[in-house]
Amino acid sequence: MPLVTTGELVRAARAAGHGVAAFNVITLEHAEAIAAGAEAAGLPALLQVSENAVKFHGGRLGPLAAAMAAVARSSRAPLALHLDHVEDGELLRAAHPAGFGSVMFDASKLPYAENVKATAEAVRWGHERGIWVEAELGRVGGKDGEPPLDAHAPGVRTDPAEAAAYVADTGVDALAVAVGSTHAMTERTAALDQALIGRLREAVPVPLVLHGSSGVPDGEIRRAVAAGMVKINVGTALNTAFTGAVRGYLTDRPAAVDPRKYLAPARDAMARTVAHFLGLVAAPATS
Ligand code: G3H
Ligand code: ZN
């Protein structure tokens, strides 16, 4: 199937009143698992790679991007490629030649005015090249290398009026908002501020993005989609599934050496996780 774009998938999900899930890719097996999970669910998905994952690959975006595109093109499910949490201008500019139709430009650590200026510039750059641009207002803490933030601390949650002004001033295509989730949670115990999601949806004309969805329970994700979240980002849940399967295999067979033996169940476990999240976002809560 030909590659589709994030913009198309997000628009279609929003029009249908449901969400679309975006999964973080670290290795080839992650990309294969996302394709397999999407095929099993019969639903579209996004494959996204973060700046931190690019650093893991020695700062080289090209090899993983080429593998992701090849996996997506050979899939029976509609899949799009997204470059996630980009802070570095050089990596941002590499998105287009590497085949990404969308980026999340992350200036969320900057003070408001500097975030607006840097993001507006990234949006101008992206739109000149047909790239869909997501940005973040408020802080979803807990990213690799960062201390966890208290999601309830003042200034961490996204303010609806500020969000509306930010979208108008930057021209972003989608907005990542801070509503109670935290990156890299391995337990699904986060409580979202569903009322704030509703207020943000009323105030902001572009689709809303939930980061740190691995730590959010099923029911909270369903309610968040019903309240107005469209793009649901999932990373750690795949790694939890992957590592659990590898650990189980090697604990039972300490003499094993062939990586295919433990990567196969790890990939299957990730594919099941992908299919589960896709089913959740495609069936938002009705009450
Ligand atoms: O941008 C990626 C996501 O926000 C993933 O967060 O690893 O906590 O699911 P997570
Ligand atoms: Zn994120």
CA of 12 to the centre of ligand 1 (A): 22
Q: Are 212 and 177 in contact (CB under 8 A)?
A: no
Can you give the pLDDT at residue 71?
98
Q: Nearest bound ligand to CA 148?
A: 1
Of all atoms in ligand 1, which is nearest to the CA of residue 235? Answer: 7
Higher pLDDT, 74 or 287: 74
For residue 213 and ligand 1, the question of a CB distance below 6 A is answered with: yes
CA of 252 to the centre of ligand 1 (A): 30
Q: Can 169 be counted among the known catalytic residues?
A: no
pLDDT in tens, 90-112: 999 999 999 999 999 999 889 99
- Walk me through the domains of the chain, giving residue ranges and CATH numbers: 6-280 (3.20.20.70)
Q: What HEC string does the chain produce? A: CCCCCHHHHHHHHHHHCCCEEEEECCCHHHHHHHHHHHHHHCCCEEEEEEHHHHHHCCCCCHHHHHHHHHHHHCCCCCEEEEEEEECCHHHHHHCCCCCCCEEEECCCCCCHHHHHHHHHHHHHHHHHCCCEEEEEECCCCCCCCCCCCCCCCCCCCCCHHHHHHHHHHHCCCEEEECCCCCCCCCCCCCCCCHHHHHHHHHHCCCCEEECCHHHCCHHHHHHHHHHCEEEEEECHHHHHHHHHHHHHHHHHCCCCCCHHHHHHHHHHHHHHHHHHHHHHHHCCCCC
CA of 47 to the centre of ligand 2 (A): 13
pLDDT in tens, 33-89: 999 999 999 999 999 999 999 999 999 999 999 999 999 999 999 999 999 999 999
Q: Nearest bound ligand to CA 26?
A: 1
Of all atoms in ligand 1, which is nearest to the CA of residue 233? Answer: 3
Can you give the pLDDT at residue 125?
97
Of all atoms in ligand 1, which is nearest to the CA of residue 239? Answer: 7
d(CA 91, CA 198): 34
